Amino acid sequence: MAAAPGGMKGFYTFLGAALVLGVGVLGFLFMRKPSVSIPANPVIQVGDTSGFRGYLLGSDSAPLEVTEYADFQCPACQQWATVQFPTIEERLIRTGRVRWRYRDFPLDMHPFARIAAHVAACASEQGKYWDMNQKIYSWEGDWPEKSNPIGVFNDYANNVGLDRTKYDACMNSGRYAGRMRASYLEGVAAGVGSTPTFLINGRLYPGGNAVHYDMLKALLDSLAGQKPAQ
């Protein structure tokens, strides 16, 4: 038996609406910006390491240099960065006694560590590395728990005053993947196996409780041949 005219009309209306919706969804998928992805094992080029020792903070003439190997998504690194580092920065780095050297050591167990490190590298292009470092370690917006933290990182870029056109181009290029890989391999060669790990005078200090203001102050006093301050 033939279908009633009214029923066929409703069927074709539904079919047409479904086709329009499908075309719209496909158009969105093709036109939306791709998610940022940073290669894990890029080929390291000469330009990735030439003239770059890490992200430095403090005086070139400081008597002590501390190298920190860290991962932005590491809870122990985040805890250390927010609890210990502010005092060290205020009392030792700003006073010219310590120079800090930050090296990326993104762990495979943390899926967004490389993206976060690349965000900071792109901020460095605009002279905002340490502002972004602090912002990322604040974990505002709970970015480690997101399925895709790019939106949170974009908010960080706005908050620290980055030129978004330049920042977006930098992120989409992934151009610092080689530098990050070289930093990681440097840490492996030095014996780093976890984060955070600190390298001071050729000796490794692993763990967030290993390095703090009192420890560095005592080491500085020892280097200067002074008795530790009371």
- pLDDT tens per residue across all 230 residues of the chain: 334 445 555 545 544 544 444 444 444 333 334 467 898 899 999 999 999 999 999 999 999 999 999 999 999 999 999 999 999 999 999 999 999 999 999 999 999 999 999 999 999 999 999 999 999 999 999 999 999 999 999 999 999 999 999 999 999 999 999 999 999 999 999 999 999 999 999 999 999 999 999 999 999 999 887 554 44
- Look up the domain containing 102 and give its range: 46-223
Residue 39 within any structural domain of the chain: no
Spatial distance between the Cα atoms of 46 and 103, rounded to a whole number of angstroms? 18
pTM of the model: 0.83
Q: How far is CA 34 from CA 30, 83, 108, 146, 172, in A?
A: 9, 36, 22, 17, 9
| Total domains, the chain | 2
Residue 78 within any structural domain of the chain: yes
Say yes or no: 101 and 188 in one domain: yes
Say yes or no: 27 and 54 in one domain: no
Sheet with 55-57: list strands edge to edge. Answer: 55-57, 98-104, 64-70, 197-200, 203-206
Residue 153 within any structural domain of the chain: yes
Spatial distance between the Cα atoms of 140 and 153, rounded to a whole number of angstroms? 10
Question: Backbone phi, then psi, for 159, in 5-degree steps?
Answer: -65, -35
Looking at residue 63, what DSSP letter applies?
A: S
Say yes or no: 20 and 115 in one domain: no
Tokens coding 4: 């009633």
Residue 38 within any structural domain of the chain: no
Output the domain CATH number for residue 163: 3.40.30.10
Q: Tell me: the pLDDT tens digits for 29-78?
A: 333 344 678 988 999 999 999 999 999 999 999 999 999 999 999 999 99
Q: Tell me: the pLDDT tens digits for 38-48?
A: 988 999 999 99
Q: What is the model's pLDDT at position 229?
A: 47
Q: How far is CA 150 from CA 113, 128, 195, in A?
A: 12, 18, 23
Spatial distance between the Cα atoms of 180 and 121, rounded to a whole number of angstroms? 9
Using an 8 Å Cβ cutoff, are 144 and 112 in contact? yes
Residue 41 within any structural domain of the chain: no
Residue 40 within any structural domain of the chain: no
3-class DSSP state of 22: helix
